[in-house]
């Protein structure tokens, strides 16, 4: 893989979770969430993106979302369950992404709001196109994903260095 090719980051918010009497970290998906996670997986497959790496929060709802979505993909990437993605701020998520080896071209990060939406916002900088307006008007609901591209090594990823290329939410 050449660093000259744009890298891709897909930011994927977990699907709708249930609210049983368990800790936040242990909350599972509800019925709608399980359905939406599979639909999101089909939409991810439709993008034609092949993922080299999946980073996923250790929370039950994110692991369930990823397992249902990845089942729809033609290629299953290496998956790393990363504790630092749970309840992470955009800055903390950038720090995790900065550690990705440069032989990885495309990554999907399955995480939580407000971090995932905030990360999409700060990476894309001031771009004001229709895709960004759609993303912002919907507030990055459960099972939504954003596709961003950027040039350079992972360690150079910082606010404003990416371009928002696509966005999808279950309501679309």
Q: Residue 1: pLDDT band by 50, 70, 90 thresholds? A: very low
Residue 125 has pLDDT above 80, yes or no: no
Which whole-number Å values give the CA distances from 102 to 2, 23, 151, 161, in the listed order? 9, 36, 12, 16
Question: Would you say 61 is a known binding-site residue?
Answer: yes
Query: Is 104 within a domain?
Result: yes
Residue 152 has pLDDT above 50, yes or no: yes
Please provide residue 160's backbone torsions phi and psi, each rounded to the nearest 5 degrees. 85, 0
Q: Could you report the per-residue pLDDT of 138-148, keeping only the tens digit for each? A: 789 999 999 99
Two tokens at 172? 């679309």
pTM here?
A: 0.94
Query: Is 72 within a domain?
Result: yes
Q: What is the mean pLDDT of residues 2-16?
A: 87
In the block, tokens 């407000």 appear at 114
Q: Residue 4: pLDDT band by 50, 70, 90 thresholds? A: low
Query: Is 158 within a domain?
Result: yes
Query: Is 2 within a domain?
Result: no
CATH of the domain at 96: 3.40.50.1240
CB atoms within 10 A of CB 131: 18
* Total count of domains within the chain: 1
Q: Could you report the per-residue pLDDT of 44-71, keeping only the tens digit for each? A: 999 999 999 999 999 999 999 999 999 9
Per-residue HEC secondary structure of the chain comes to CCCCCCEEEEEEECCCECCCCCCHHHCCECHHHHHHHHHHHHHHHHCCCCCCEEEECCCHHHHHHHHHHHCCCCCCCEEEECHHHCCCCHHHHHHHHHCCCCCCCEEEEEECCCHHHHHHHHHHCCCCCHHHHHHHHHCCCCCCEEEEEECCCHHHCCCCCCEEEEEECCCC
Query: Is 1 within a domain?
Result: no
DSSP β-bridge partners for residue 13: 111
Query: Is 41 within a domain?
Result: yes
Domain that holds residue 156: 7-168
Query: Is 88 within a domain?
Result: yes
Query: Is 128 within a domain?
Result: yes
Pick 113 or 134 by higher pLDDT: 113
Residue 84 has pLDDT above 80, yes or no: yes
């Amino acid at each position: 893989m050449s660093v000259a090719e744009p890298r891709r980051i897909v930011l994927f918010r977990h699907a709708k979770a249930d609210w049983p009497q368990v800790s936040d970290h242990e909350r599972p998906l509800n019925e709608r969430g399980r359905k939406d996670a599979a639909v999101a997986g089909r939409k991810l497959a439709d993008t034609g993106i092949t993922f080299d790496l999946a980073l996923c929060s250790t929370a039950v709802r994110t692991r369930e979302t990823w397992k249902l979505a990845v089942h729809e993909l033609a290629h299953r990437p290496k998956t790393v369950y990363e504790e630092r993605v749970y309840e992470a701020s955009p800055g903390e998520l950038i720090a995790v992404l900065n550690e990705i080896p440069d032989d990885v071209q495309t990554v999907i990060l399955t995480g939580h709001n407000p971090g995932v939406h905030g990360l999409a916002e700060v990476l894309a900088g001031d771009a004001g196109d229709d895709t960004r307006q759609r993303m912002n008007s919907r507030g990055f609901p459960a099972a939504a994903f954003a596709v961003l591209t950027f040039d350079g090594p992972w360690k150079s990823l910082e606010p404003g260095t990416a371009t928002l290329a696509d966005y999808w939410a279950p309501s679309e």
